[in-house]
Every structure is written in structure tokens, then in C-alpha cells.
Amino acid sequence: MFRRNRFQQGSLTKEKRQAGPAVWAFRWREMGPDGITTRKKIILGTAEEYPTESKARKRLASLDLNINEKQSQGVHPALMTMGQLIDHYEKLELGEHRHSKAQSTVEVYTEYLTCWIKPRWKNTHTLAVKPVEVEEWLRSLTLANGTKAKIRNIMSAVFQHALRHQFISTNPIRGMVRQSAKRQREPEVLTAEEIRLTLKHLSPLPRMMVFLAASTGLRFSELRGLQWQDLDFEKGVLHLRRGVVKKHITELKTAASRKPVPLHPDVLSSLKIFRSLSGYRKPENWIFASTKAKGRVPVWPSGLMQDHVLPAIKAAQIEKHVSWHTFRHSYATLLKANGEDAKVVQDSLRHASFQITMDTYTQAVPEAVRSAHVRVVEQIAGVGMVNGPELDPDRSTQLVSC
């Protein structure tokens, strides 16, 4: 018995809504792999966007649904929701078989997608995402501008993924959604005197960590990733080979990040004394090893900050918001206050780029970077302070569990 192939045109109707303008809805039927026919529906847009049926049909034609020639099975962009697109993105771009992205980056992207983007947009069809609506949503979030810009950028990355897989023809985010990343207030920085006062209230491990962070500008992930084999005591340099973000060892992304860091003799002396106090002194051991984890992993950042650094800040009567990144900002501020050349500041912080003019026309010699580091250390440490009683080898009981 022959079965007749049915030809359908679908139906386009204008539907009123309880709130907001009326919308144009297109409906048709589709048979699934199991032979069951289901009803399909997409919203083309509002009556304000398409005031006449003719304009709505032009929009419909641009979607190229081909409802009589193929079964979309939910993968056509007109049917694909943001939730489905994000799932596809996470599987290919953030999954275990991804081609790039460090584990730390995957965790950040997953957190933003789960906490912010999915809850708001998961049920919205990809073609219904409008730049103006995204802008309004971002403005409504009580987050820092930098965080909002990160959300915008991750949404754009998801749509770029859809472009690569030919789910869509345009990215509604890139170049369309305006969101400033400008800081709403300048980050707090500590003076050399404030850093010196803080060091007085710290026990050896957090003290050494803060001293090294404030005198070199190392990122906290780089501090956690340090092993004793990275230190060259003879040449007075620190080789950066890895970072540790949460539980994951990460590679340093740029060549600038991997540049050797010169160390002042007082810093080297402090590290030697600290090593003599540590129970984990082998070359492959973490410099800032967690005693609670018996040296298997580096110290955990939040616990060290909450339990040791912030109480020391309070004891020093400093009323500033301090995080681990504060010490990097402080180092940069001290360099600038000392009148260091812009290129020296860039190289000292190991930034990949400062300004194209500086990168092209100015070169900082290594000795200039070392001299800049020496001046900051002398400001923070003062005369004879670094090797003072706080790091006396005979006072090994000062080591804390971190």
C-alpha cells in the first residue's frame, strides 16, 4: 500500500501576549524517527520588529527551514535553544577531548555558563537572542564591569562555536553588545610601609609568600606553582615553569610569563632560611607546600588569605580591601613611584604587551629589571629586617599548618 507524501506550508499567525507586543509564530508538523508526528513552533519576532505579515514572511524565508525536505530533530538554529547550544559547546570545547583551553579556563567558563548565562538564556532560541536584550540584562546584573564583560565574551565564544558548526550565520554578540570592562573604582594598593607592617604580623610561610609576591609581582598561581628546583641561588634568579590554579597544574601561556625573575640577595637569603624550616626541601617539592596535605599539594589560597594574611592586615591597622592580586598591583605602583621606565615596568610584571610603541621602540635591559626589583625590596624590607628574628632557623615552631 502506497503512502502519500504530504506537502505542508505551515501556518504563520500573529499572537497576542499578556505582557509586551504581539509576536509572529510559525507552526508546522514534523515526523520523528519513531514515526510519531509532533507539532513544531518558532517565534520569528515581535510585531514591532515585523509590522506586516509580508515582512514576517521574509524573515521566515531567511531561516530556510525546508519543513518538507528534512527533519530538523531539534538541531536547526531556528529550533535550537541556547541551552542546547551551550551543551554542544561544553561537550566539544570544554570536554576532555578539547583541542585547547587549560583546565583552569574550563572551570571558569563552566562557572560563568552555569551561574549566569544558562539560567537566563537556556530556553531562548538562538535566533531570538537580540543584542539590545543582552545589553539590558547585563546592565541589570549587580556585578563588576569586568565580570559583565567576561559574561559577554563567553556568550560571544558560544555563538562563534555555532558559526563554526554552521548553526547560525551571524554572531549577535560580537561587535554588537556593548559592555565596558572599565573598573568602577581603582584597585587598592599597599605602600611599602604597609607591606612592612603586615610582614611583622605573619608566621614564616605566609610571610615568605607575601614578601615574594610584594617584591616580585608574581601572580598567586605562579607562587603556588613554585618548586625548589625552580630557584637558582647562584645566579639569583627564579625560573617560572608552571602555575597551580585550584587543584590543577597549568602551563604559563605566554613567553613573557615564563621570563626568569631576578631576586634580591635578601630575598634569596629569606628563601634559604625558609627552606631550612620546611619539612619539604627536595628539588621537586613545592616551595609553599601544604602541611595539612603532607606536602602533596601547594597551600590553598583562600584559607591562607582568610586565616593569616587578612588578620595580619587588621593587626597592622590597615583598612583596605586586600586580595592576593593586591600585592601585584602594589609592586607595579611602587615601580612607577620609583620612576622606572615603562618598558621596565612591563618586563618586571611580565606582561605580554604594554603599548605597541613601547614594544617596538624601547627595550629594557635585564640589569634595569633587576635594579628596579632591588629598589622595591629595599623599600619593603629596610635594613636587616628580612633576616631578622621572624625567620630565625632556631624558631622552627613558628611554622603553621596551611
Model confidence pLDDT, tens digit, residues 256-272: 788 899 999 999 999 99
Q: Do 81 and 155 sit in the same domain of this protein?
A: yes
> Which pLDDT score is estimated for 360?
40
Give the model's confidence band at 77: pLDDT under 50 very low, under 70 low, under 90 confident, else very high: low
Q: Is residue 15 part of a domain?
A: no
Q: Do 165 and 207 sit in the same domain of this protein?
A: no
pTM over 0.75: no
Give the model's confidence band at 218: pLDDT under 50 very low, under 70 low, under 90 confident, else very high: very high
Query: CA 141 to CA 148: how far, in whole Å?
Result: 8
Q: Is residue 9 part of a domain?
A: no
Q: Is residue 308 part of a domain?
A: yes
With beta carbons less than 8 A apart as the criterion, state whether 8 and 29 touch: yes
- CB hemisphere CA count around 297 (13 angstroms): 13
With beta carbons less than 8 A apart as the criterion, state whether 390 and 207 touch: yes
What average pLDDT is seen over the chain? 83
Q: Is residue 23 part of a domain?
A: no
Q: Do 110 and 206 sit in the same domain of this protein?
A: no
Which of these ranges, 104-113, 240-249, 328-337, 348-357, has the smallest mean pLDDT? 348-357
Q: Which residues contact 318 (CB under 8 A, 6 or more apart)?
A: 190, 194, 197, 198
With beta carbons less than 8 A apart as the criterion, state whether 372 and 340 touch: yes
Q: Is residue 380 part of a domain?
A: yes
CATH number at residue 300: 1.10.443.10
With beta carbons less than 8 A apart as the criterion, state whether 86 and 118 touch: yes
Give the model's confidence band at 1: pLDDT under 50 very low, under 70 low, under 90 confident, else very high: very low
Query: CA 194 to CA 321: how far, in whole Å?
Result: 13
Q: Is residue 98 part of a domain?
A: yes
CATH number at residue 91: 1.10.150.130
Q: Do 176 and 235 sit in the same domain of this protein?
A: no
Q: Is 312 exposed, middle or buried (0-12, 13-18, 19+ CB in 10 A)?
A: buried
Q: Do 153 and 200 sit in the same domain of this protein?
A: no
With beta carbons less than 8 A apart as the criterion, state whether 293 and 278 touch: no
Q: Is residue 20 part of a domain?
A: no
**Residue ending a domain, choose from 153, 169, 185:** 185
76 pLDDT exceeds 70? no
**Residue ending a domain, choose from 185, 215, 230:** 185
- Domain range enclosing 362: 192-398
Residue 234 neighbours by CB distance under 10 Å = 7
Q: Do 177 and 203 sit in the same domain of this protein?
A: no
Q: Which residues contact 149 (CB under 8 A, 6 or more apart)?
A: 179, 180, 181
**Residue ending a domain, choose from 135, 153, 185:** 185
Q: Do 203 and 119 sit in the same domain of this protein?
A: no
Number of domains in the chain: 2
